[in-house]
Amino acid sequence: MNGEALRRADAAGQAARRYGRTASMLSVAVGATGFIVYLYFALAAHNLDKAAYGDVTTLWLVVFVTVATLYRPVEQLLSRTIAERHAREGFRGRPLRVAATIQGSVALCVTVLCLVLRNPIEDELLSGNSTLYWILVVSIAAYAGTFFARGFFAGHRRFGLYSSVLLSDACTRILFPLAVAVGIASGTTAVALGIVAGPLVSLTLVPAVVAIALRGRGLEPELEPEAGTDAPPAPEGTEFTLAHGGGFAAAVLLIVFSEQLFLSSGALILKVTEGAVATAFIFNVLMLARAPIYLFQAVATSLLPHLTRLRFRPGVGGEDAFRLSVRLTITAVVGFAALVAAIVLIAGPALMQVAFSDKYSYDRAGLLIVTVGMGFYLAAATLNQAALAQGQARRAAICWIGCGLAYVGWNLLPIFDEFRRVEVGFALAAVTLCGLLYLLYRRPHPRPEDAVRPDSVQELEARLAAADEAG
């Protein structure tokens, strides 16, 4: 090997190590954020009565379903376009202006819609509490800026700053129920203010966006084209639009939206049909699944690039190593779910009361049903990362949205009691999703445009999608 080839190989190795360190930072931040989310609700449940806690959980669900659905496209679009423009032709200012225009327009429209629908939102969803209503409005508006910053930092692969956005939001939020717990403050409003304070504080990182843009910095070293390759030129007439990035981005967005259906729709439906107390109870029960799912996002953010490299770089393992990695991850998921099931069998209801106060009485059978659903959901999330690495984003998205909509439909049927219906529906939907994704994984029919290649913008988008639940 000549000197030039050695230099290129060394540069590629250094870039891979730098990328690995920053990606690991994101994984740690995601895991920590998920744990802090759990603590927020544990503290809130212990220090509020049933109705007040139900209102806080409803507020949380409405805010986060809204922002994840409406603002995720621009975050994804901005991260993809900045990374692609860097790789091809150097950064230009136009993507920032266009993305800011789109995000601002979306935020303005949803804010106007919230104002127009104030009465049904305030009276039907938030028990007539006007303070919670205004917290909802300001939170949704503030998250527009937060998601914009996340997309900008992700496009530059500034995972340290991206992680700071996640952690500043979560750490600020938990201060409010903590203040209630130690007696500094009291009441529903004090706890709920954390939901709006989080994005407002994380917006303090926006000046970093402006500073980076004004300096016009280029890529971090790990974003440069791989040694021995030339970055493809941008096609003539390429424009930065919401359609840029095509089907892969849309498929990932559908998957993210479907995750919201799995984790939030049951509780929201109970809010409308049964009230805030019922919402609080089923929210706590589903936290048995939600908390491990939050923490699994840290695994998911690392699993996709690992599987991608195995698939597209045969020298690091090839197809056998690819399938072995999937099997080992699913084996770990099964072992974890079995451990949780054993704990639930022995002391599940008592531990739930320790975690979320003794205001509620929990049914052991219901907790076991949700635990089974959690295991299948985590296995499905593993198979989903494998499907993305195989270039099957569209087919995976069809599986997700189909199961998510079926779960919503199930919760509207007059089957079982209101709580068992949500528990059984979650488990059945997770089992079905896992089965469909397993068939997809075993019999792949990849599309070239859906292929996720190492260090590509597609990998970046899917990695960020895995992080979204905790964010």
What confidence score (pLDDT) does residue 374 get? 93
What is the DSSP annotation of 201-261?
HHGGGHHHHHHHHHHT----GGGSPPTT--PPPPPTT----TTTTHHHHHHHHHHHHHHHH
- Distance, CA of 77 to CA of 244 (rounded, Å): 7
CB 304 within 8 A of CB 385: yes
Q: pTM of this prediction?
A: 0.77
Question: What residue type is 201 in one-letter code?
Answer: V
Q: How far is CA 40 from the centre of its chain?
A: 17
Alpha helices by DSSP H, 71-181:
72-88, 94-116, 118-120, 130-155, 159-181
The DSSP symbol for 126 reads: S
Would you list the domain boundaries of the chain?
A: 1-233, 245-471
- Distance, CA of 384 to CA of 293 (rounded, Å): 14
Q: Which of 363, 367, 383 is nearest to 431 (CA)?
A: 383
CB 470 within 8 A of CB 33: yes
What confidence score (pLDDT) does residue 402 get? 95
Q: Is 432 exposed, middle or buried (0-12, 13-18, 19+ CB in 10 A)?
A: middle
Can you read off the two tokens belonging to residue 420?
């068992």
CB 144 within 8 A of CB 106: yes
CB 372 within 8 A of CB 337: yes
How big is the CA angle at 43 (ends 41 and 46), to the nearest 5 degrees?
A: 105
HSE, side-chain direction, 13 A CA sphere, residue 290: 28
What confidence score (pLDDT) does residue 189 get? 92
Can you read off the two tokens belonging to residue 47?
């220090």
Can you read off the two tokens belonging to residue 313?
């770089």
Other beta carbons within 10 Å of 90: 10
Cβ partners under 8 Å of residue 431, min gap 6: 372, 373, 376
CB 214 within 8 A of CB 357: no
The DSSP symbol for 417 reads: -
How big is the CA angle at 194 (ends 193 and 200), to the nearest 5 degrees?
A: 95
Can you read off the two tokens belonging to residue 93?
């200012």
Torsion (CA) 424, 425, 427, 429 in degrees, nearest 10: 160
- Distance, CA of 308 to CA of 385 (rounded, Å): 9
The DSSP symbol for 425 reads: H
What confidence score (pLDDT) does residue 401 get? 94
Other beta carbons within 10 Å of 403: 23
Can you read off the two tokens belonging to residue 235?
């096609």
92 phi and psi angles, rounded to 5 deg: -125, 155
What confidence score (pLDDT) does residue 223 get? 39
Q: Which of 336, 456, 326, 465 is nearest to 386 (CA)?
A: 326
- Distance, CA of 243 to CA of 73 (rounded, Å): 10
Phi-psi region of 345 (alpha: psi -120 to 50; beta: other; left: phi over 0): alpha
* pLDDT digits (tens), the chain, 471 positions: 555 555 554 544 444 455 455 556 666 777 788 788 889 998 999 899 888 999 999 999 899 888 888 887 777 777 767 766 655 554 444 667 777 888 888 899 999 999 999 999 998 888 889 999 999 999 999 999 888 888 888 777 777 788 888 888 889 999 999 999 998 988 899 999 999 999 998 888 777 766 765 565 443 433 344 444 444 444 444 444 444 445 666 777 788 888 888 888 888 888 888 888 888 899 889 888 887 877 777 677 667 777 777 776 655 556 777 888 888 889 989 999 999 999 999 998 998 988 888 888 888 999 999 999 999 999 999 998 888 888 788 889 999 999 999 999 999 998 888 899 999 999 999 999 999 999 999 887 766 655 666 656 666 666 666 666 555
How many helices and strands (H and E) does the chain possess?
A: 16, 0
Residue 281 Cα distances to 54, 128, 284, 357, 369, angstroms: 8, 20, 5, 11, 15
